[in-house]
Every structure is written in structure tokens, then in C-alpha cells.
Amino acid sequence: MRRRAVVLAIAAAAAWAALYLLDLAPAGRAVLLVAGPVLLVAAPLIVVADAAARRRTPARATGTVLACEGEGVEPSGWEYTLTVRFTSADGRDHVITESGRPRRRPSDRMTVRYDLRDPARARLDLGTAPAWTAAAVVLLTGAAVTWFAAR
């Protein structure tokens, strides 16, 4: 947890320094004036895209983690590739593999969302928290960039 806080502090300082340097250049100020509002508009689109993906895969099943591979080198720890087996409503077994997921142990249970007509179109269901977190980060970044450009 402490390492994550240090990495986030360094990333925030680097982002602030980049904003300051962009603000110094005349062309950089124009970039900030465009980038800020674009990020502000993009933030809610992340949540809308996640909701649309959830509607495309309405069925749920409980899957079993078969393998978890990766180094987990990012502070978030979301650098693992999971292989999960689940049984669809028609009784057939399916195996999916997704990268960039949180660490799980083999035999752990996970919720899988899939399309009833095409169970091969499945994805791991991590809930709505990742989309809302990403939207919040993009929104805060957009607000900071907009404020920096407008001052």
C-alpha cells in the first residue's frame, strides 16, 4: 500500500510538471484548452461504454479460475492473465482468457458475463467499480487540465 501511494505521488508530480511545461509554450496552451474539455466529455462515456458492454452480455455464470499468469508489476496489481472455465446455460463448458485482471488463485470463483446466443463472447465481470474509477480519474484529470489552461 505504501509503495502504491509513492508511485501515485510521483505520477501526480510528473503530470503537474508536464502541465506546467505545456503551459509555458504557446502551442502547449492550445493543447491544454482542447485536451481538458475532451477529457471532461470522455469521462462519462467510459461509464456508458461499460453499461453497453454489460447489456451485450446479460447472462451470468460462476466460473473457476484455471490459471493466473503474470508478474503483477503495476502498482495496481492488475497485470495478470486469467484463464477461467464456466458452464453456459445450455450446459456446455467454455474457457476464456483475459489480460489486465486482478490476481486470483487457481480454483477461485469468478462471475462471468456472456451472450446467451454466443457464449464464446464472454468476459469476466469485475463489477462497475473499475469503470467508475477510470471515469473519476479521467474527470479529475480533465478538470485539472481545464483549470490549468483557463487560469
Cα separation, 56 vs 27, in Å, equals 42
> Over its length of 151 residues, how does the chain's per-residue pLDDT go in tens digits?
455 566 667 777 777 777 776 666 666 777 778 888 988 999 999 899 999 988 888 899 999 999 998 866 655 556 789 999 999 999 999 999 998 888 889 999 999 999 999 898 899 998 888 889 888 988 998 898 888 777 7
Cell numbers given for 90: 445450455
**What does the pLDDT read at residue 6?**
66
- Of the candidates 129, 111, 113, the one whose C-alpha atom is nearest the C-alpha of residue 121 is 113
**What does the pLDDT read at residue 103?**
85
**What does the pLDDT read at residue 100?**
81
**What does the pLDDT read at residue 2?**
54
Cell numbers given for 42: 470522455
Q: What are phi and psi of 59, to 5 degrees?
A: -80, 150
Describe the strand order of the beta sheet including 93-101 as a list of residue ranges: 93-101, 80-87, 59-69, 109-114, 122-124
**What does the pLDDT read at residue 77?**
56
Q: Report whether 59 contacts 89 (CB < 8 A).
A: yes
Cα separation, 140 vs 125, in Å, equals 25
**What does the pLDDT read at residue 41?**
92
**What does the pLDDT read at residue 34?**
84
